[in-house]
C-alpha cells in the first residue's frame, strides 16, 4: 500500500464525510498553527482505503495534534484487517524516510465505529505500537433517560437531582450570537477552580464555522449560574467540551440539573450518544470527575493512545 502526501484541497475532496469532525481536513487546517506542519495522507492500493491528518511537533507525528482523538479515517465499510496492516506499515515506512522520530495516534471512542476501532487496536498491537495510555472516556446513552433513570443513577445523584428539580431553575439553549454568556460562566468556574480554559471565545467561534456548537445556560431568576458548550461531532454523537456552574450557587445542585437537562435535550432531538470526555490524564484518574460522571449514569469506554518509536 502506498502513502500519498497530498494537499489540503485534495484530502478534503477525498475524505468528505469523516467519522467525526476532529478528523476533517477543515479542522486540521484551522488548527495548523498548533504544530510545525500538517501532513494530509492517503493510503492507496487498488483504491484509496484510508486517510489521516498528522501534525509534526518535536520531530514526531501526532494524530490528533489539537483534539481529544484522531486516527485513521476508513473510506469503505468493508475494511479488512490486512488493509489496516498494510496502511500502518506504509505509514511507518513513510515516516522513517522523512527521518521522523515517532508516531503517536489516539483512536476515537468505540461508539463511533466499534468494529473498526477493535480492528485498529489489534493492528496497532501487532505493528509494534506501544499502548502508552488508556484514558477513561465517559459517555451517556440517551436511551437510558427513561422511566428507570432514577434507578440507574447513584443515590446521591438522585437526591441532588430531585432537590434541583424543586428549585426555580430554568434551562435554555442560547442563540449562537449569545454564546459568550455561556462561555463567561464556564470561564469564571474555571478561574475559581484554578483551571484556565484552553480555548478563547474567539477560537471557539472559529471552530464553530466547522463544527456546529450548542450553547446552554441554567438560570435562577435573573442569575445565570451554569452553562454547557457542546460540539456536534457527527450525526449521532455530540461532545460536551465545557460545562460548569458557579460555586456560590452549589446548594442548588446546578450540575445535576444541567447534566439531566442536556441529556433530555439531545434525547428529544434524536442524538443517541453524548460524549462527556475523559476524566484521566496520562491514565491517572481525577476521582471526583470520574465519580460524578458515573453517578449520573454515564457509561465508560477507553481512549487508546498508541506510540511507535522510529529510531
Residue 97: CA atoms inside 13 Å, Cβ hemisphere, count?
8
Identical topology for domains 2-128 and 139-303: yes
Could you report the per-residue pLDDT of 95-110, keeping only the tens digit for each? 999 999 999 999 999 9
SS3 content of the chain, % helix, strand, coil (to 5): 40, 30, 30
Pick 2-128's CATH classification: 3.40.630.30, 3.30.230.10, 1.10.10.10, 3.90.950.20: 3.40.630.30
> What integer pLDDT is reported at residue 181 of this predicted model?
97
> What integer pLDDT is reported at residue 196 of this predicted model?
82
Could you report the per-residue pLDDT of 197-214, keeping only the tens digit for each? 889 999 999 999 999 999
- 456546529: which residue's cell? 212
**Omega before 64 within 30 of 0, i.e. cis:** yes
> What integer pLDDT is reported at residue 273 of this predicted model?
98
Mark the ranges of the chain whose per-residue pLDDT is less than 50. Answer: none
Q: What architecture is the 139-303 domain classified under in CATH? A: 3-Layer(aba) Sandwich (3.40)
Q: Would you list the domain boundaries of the chain?
A: 2-128, 139-303
Helix, strand or coil, per DSSP, at residue 14: helix
The predicted model scores a pTM of 0.95
> What integer pLDDT is reported at residue 195 of this predicted model?
83
Q: Report which of 212, 151, 227, 213 is spatially closest to residue 182, judged by C-alpha positions.
A: 227
Amino acid at each position: 500500500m502506498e502513502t500519498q502526501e497530498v494537499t489540503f484541497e485534495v484530502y478534503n475532496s477525498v475524505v468528505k464525510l469523516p467519522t467525526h469532525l476532529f478528523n476533517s481536513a477543515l479542522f486540521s487546517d484551522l488548527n495548523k498553527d498548533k504544530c510545525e506542519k500538517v501532513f494530509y495522507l492517503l493510503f492507496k492500493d487498488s483504491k484509496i482505503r484510508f486517510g489521516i491528518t498528522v501534525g509534526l511537533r518535536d520531530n514526531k507525528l501526532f494524530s490528533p495534534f489539537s483534539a481529544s482523538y484522531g486516527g485513521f479515517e476508513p473510506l469503505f465499510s468493508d475494511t479488512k484487517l490486512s488493509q489496516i496492516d498494510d496502511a500502518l506499515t506504509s505509514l511507518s515506512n513513510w515516516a522513517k524516510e522523512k527521518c521522523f522520530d515517532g508516531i503517536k495516534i489516539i483512536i476515537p471512542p468505540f461508539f463511533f465505529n466499534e468494529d473498526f476501532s477493535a480492528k485498529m487496536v489489534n493492528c496497532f498491537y501487532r505493528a509494534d505500537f506501544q499502548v502508552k495510555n488508556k484514558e477513561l472516556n465517559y459517555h451517556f446513552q440517551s436511551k437510558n433517560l427513561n422511566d428507570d433513570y432514577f434507578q440507574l443513577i447513584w443515590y446521591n445523584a438522585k437526591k441532588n437531582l430531585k432537590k434541583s428539580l424543586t428549585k426555580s431553575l430554568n434551562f435554555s439553549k442560547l442563540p449562537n450570537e449569545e454564546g459568550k454568556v455561556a462561555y463567561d460562566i464556564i470561564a469564571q468556574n474555571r478561574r475559581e477552580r484554578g483551571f484556565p480554559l484552553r480555548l478563547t471565545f474567539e477560537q471557539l467561534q472559529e471552530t464553530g464555522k466547522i463544527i456546529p456548537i450548542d450553547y446552554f445556560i441554567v438560570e435562577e431568576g435573573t442569575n445565570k449560574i451554569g452553562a454547557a458548550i457542546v460540539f456536534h461531532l457527527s450525526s449521532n454523537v455530540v461532545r460536551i467540551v465545557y460545562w460548569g456552574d458557579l460555586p456560590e450557587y452549589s446548594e442548588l445542585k446546578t450540575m445535576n440539573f444541567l447534566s439531566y437537562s442536556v441529556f433530555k435535550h439531545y434525547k428529544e432531538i434524536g442524538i443517541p450518544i453524548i460524549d462527556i470526555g475523559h476524566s484521566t490524564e496520562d491514565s491517572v484518574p481525577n476521582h471526583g470527575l470520574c465519580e460524578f460522571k458515573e453517578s449520573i449514569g454515564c457509561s465508560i469506554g477507553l481512549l487508546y493512545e498508541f506510540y511507535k518509536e522510529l529510531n
